[in-house]
Structure 1
Amino acid sequence: MRRKLLLLLETGLVLAGLLLGASAWKLNTVLKQPLNLSQEQLLDVPSGSTPTGTFNRLQAEGVIKDALWLRLYWRFNLPGQPLHSGEYRMTPGMTAEGLIGLWQRGEVVQYSLTLVEGWNFRQVRNALANNDKLQQTLAGLSDSQVMEKLGHAGVFPEGRFFPDTYRFVRGMTDAEILEKAYDRLDEVLAKEWGQRADDAPYSDPYQALIMASLVEKETGVPQERGQIAGVFVRRLQIGMLLQTDPTVIYGLGERYTGKLTRAHLREATPYNTYVIAGLPPTPIAMVGREAIRAALNPVRGKSLYFVARGDGSHVFSDNLDAHNRAVREFQLKRRADYRSSPAPAPAAAEAQSPAAAVTPDTPTESAPKSPQ
């Protein structure tokens, strides 16, 4: 009897061993199975998805076989391992084990959205709305409602977001991108404010941000930003009007169609620095770190005027006579590829020499201006 029991036990152990061996072989076969794909395919895993549901879906779509074994593998070998939502890139030749590895590492497909220096908030919203990988939550909201949704009720949105390339995964919302850009601007502005020149003429960082937006719109030449800021700061210090075209254009809003006229320069808006003294009430565009740094550390000097050469750079002048010569040389002989704009002129000088402010309005315009 005892020998029979031992024999049965041995037989059971052998069978168990065989069963375990067969199970291991089966599991290994299932893990090594190539995904049934003829071309690259993205697997969308929505938030709240489970491995069980995803394996079942893949089997129903014919991508894998033996989903039960894969579910058991995940349950016993990866207990507590979350399945990150997002998109996973499946490629021909990839195995089920390779796909599980992607899930373990959370290697979701990333997309990017670039917010460009000099853009206004309308352009930012258009870029967000036109990105089909983002979940749209801001459609139909006014600008003030957008800021309220972001948790910044009462904050004017212009210039409050940092231009940069932001990476995101499918399912992320447009509001989340804006939140990142808002926080990033605060971070950069605070750091640069702490490194400002001792005589920087601003009572708070927001004033510096306004100035930075003027610098940003005036030149794309990095080495000129500090000089442009220097001209504007000296004008503020002696009570001269800033007279910068981008503020006029911003004040016109959607009425601006690419041609700036003398009537526009005389039109009273809160942003028209040919009419108002000092800085405009808000920024007029998004600004990069370099423009902020330039506004907070303007280049010292005597220049009060600058005129565009037509290639994006400027000629800086200390006095009106030198400025008028530069205007005649560079702006009255403008080329087809003319870029950039203004040559600020003090209000007192306008009556004496209107030609001091004769500049092209934008690269696409043909009519010069002479504010009076």
Structure 2
Amino acid sequence: MAFIKKTFVLGMLVAAGAAGGFAWWSEQPITTEEPAIEFTISKGSTAGAAGQQMAQAGVPIQPLMFNMLARFTGKSNKLKAGSYELKPNTTPARLIDQLVRGEFAQESLTIIEGWTFKQMRAAIAAHKGLRHDTAELSDKELMERVNPDFKDPEGLFFPDTYLFAKGSSELQIFKQAHQMLIQRLQEAWEKRSADLPYSSPYQALTMASIVEKETGQKSERSMIAAVFVNRLKLGMLLQTDPTVIYGMGARFDGNIRKKDLETDTPYNTYLRTGLPPTPISLPGVQSLMAAMAPAKSGALYFVSRGNGTSQFSDNLTDHNRAVNQYQRQ
């Protein structure tokens, strides 16, 4: 009987020691020479399969030990499929929590203010971290998926930096950027000045897109908007080169000529009064605010000083004088 008791106690001590060693191991950082190791857990994977997939991806962890830890903590059936990163100083216990919580590897995509929708689509299509599920869709078909209330996508996506899990859908990014644009547009519309010549937020968005393309200095956005708003109120032609360039499409080779200004398109504001039919770029929040709250000014003209700033004039005589000074010298 004494022998049995001693054997039992010894077994308990060994088990306790093993459990203690196991607990110690679970809190030790997984050492690796890489700054980060990417790995993917397939859908429906068991803890054992997840351990194998991590090991095959280069994560220095014993699949059997990982499986045992997941079972011991009761989390073996809670691991989420997806793409992850093992970062320095991650412990096995932290790694399991990462997989349970679905802390996927983060990717980012920056949409630049003033880009056209075509440039945005190209950037999204070229991003290696996205699942390219809209590549076969036309612009019209894409907008039907994003928001069927709009037919033309230009200007309807907010330029910003978007974070997403690796392997996310392209469509998710388009929807997120569109929803953000609608939110920002509505916020700006609610704060708009009185007596603006817009019949809808969409027209204000179109104005903001022109301001975005015409402005060299951010501080001049409200003055640029004032010029175009004043012209709209008076029924004057906007006469803005960026709209002409947009209407030229693939014909634009970097130069705009007299014949281009005389060639009619829906976007030629040298020939057609009012705003063009759609925005011409993706405007940022400052351009949206400038279009909704232009400067209090009677300016009708502006010309580049050649240093990134503009000279504004209230009448044609002063404008011609500024053109002679800064352009014709």
Question: Same fold, TM exceeding 0.5?
Answer: yes
- Output the TM-score relative to the length of structure 1: 0.80
Taking the aligned partners of 2:74 and 2:327, their CA distance within structure 1 comes to: 70
Residue number in structure 1 paired with 2:82: 85
Measured at CA, do residues 65 and 159 of structure 1 come closer, stay the same or move farther in structure 2, by a change above 3 Å? closer
Residue number in structure 1 paired with 2:306: 310
Taking the aligned partners of 1:158 and 1:261, their CA distance within structure 2 comes to: 25
Identical aligned pairs, as a percentage? Answer: 41
Opposite residue 303 of structure 1, the aligned amino acid is: A
Q: What's the CA shift string for 1:179-221, capped at 9, x where partnerless? A: 1110000000011111111222211100100111111111032
Residue number in structure 2 paired with 1:254: 250
Residue number in structure 1 paired with 2:107: 111
Opposite residue 19 of structure 2, the aligned amino acid is: A
CA RMSD of aligned residues (A): 2.5
Which structure: larger Rg?
Answer: 1
Aligned counterpart for 2:233 among listed residues 231, 237, 251: 237
Aligned 8 A contact 1:111 1:169 in 2: yes
Residue number in structure 1 paired with 2:181: 185
Residue number in structure 1 paired with 2:161: 165
Measured at CA, do residues 204 and 70 of structure 1 come closer, stay the same or move farther in structure 2, by a change above 3 Å? same
Q: How far does residue 147 in structure 1 lie from its aligned partner after superposition?
A: 1.5
Q: What's the CA shift string for 1:37-93, capped at 9, x where partnerless? A: 4433423224624433111233456744542332132123143644362221344x7
Residue number in structure 2 paired with 1:212: 208
Taking the aligned partners of 1:78 and 1:186, their CA distance within structure 2 comes to: 44
Residue range with higher mean Cα deviation, 58-67 or 178-187:
58-67
What's the secondary structure of 1:161's corresponding residue?
Answer: coil
Q: How far does residue 222 in structure 1 lie from its aligned partner after superposition?
A: 2.0
What's the secondary structure of 1:58's corresponding residue?
Answer: helix
Measured at CA, do residues 149 and 323 of structure 1 come closer, stay the same or move farther in structure 2, by a change above 3 Å? same
- Output the TM-score relative to the length of structure 2: 0.90
Q: What's the CA shift string for 1:340-361, capped at 9, x where partnerless? A: xxxxxxxxxxxxxxxxxxxxxx
Taking the aligned partners of 2:6 and 2:52, their CA distance within structure 1 comes to: 36
Residue number in structure 2 paired with 1:23: 18
Residue number in structure 2 paired with 1:326: 322
Residue range with higher mean Cα deviation, 201-210 or 34-43:
34-43
Aligned 8 A contact 2:39 2:53 in 1: no
Total equivalences in the alignment: 327
Measured at CA, do residues 53 and 151 of structure 1 come closer, stay the same or move farther in structure 2, by a change above 3 Å? farther
Residue number in structure 2 paired with 1:370: none
- The runs of 5 or more residues in structure 2 that have no matched partner are none
Q: How far does residue 94 in structure 1 lie from its aligned partner after superposition?
A: 5.1
Measured at CA, do residues 66 and 208 of structure 1 come closer, stay the same or move farther in structure 2, by a change above 3 Å? closer
Aligned 8 A contact 1:30 1:66 in 2: no
Residue range with higher mean Cα deviation, 126-135 or 70-79:
70-79
Residue number in structure 2 paired with 1:43: 38
- The runs of 5 or more residues in structure 1 that have no matched partner are 334-372
Residue number in structure 2 paired with 1:297: 293
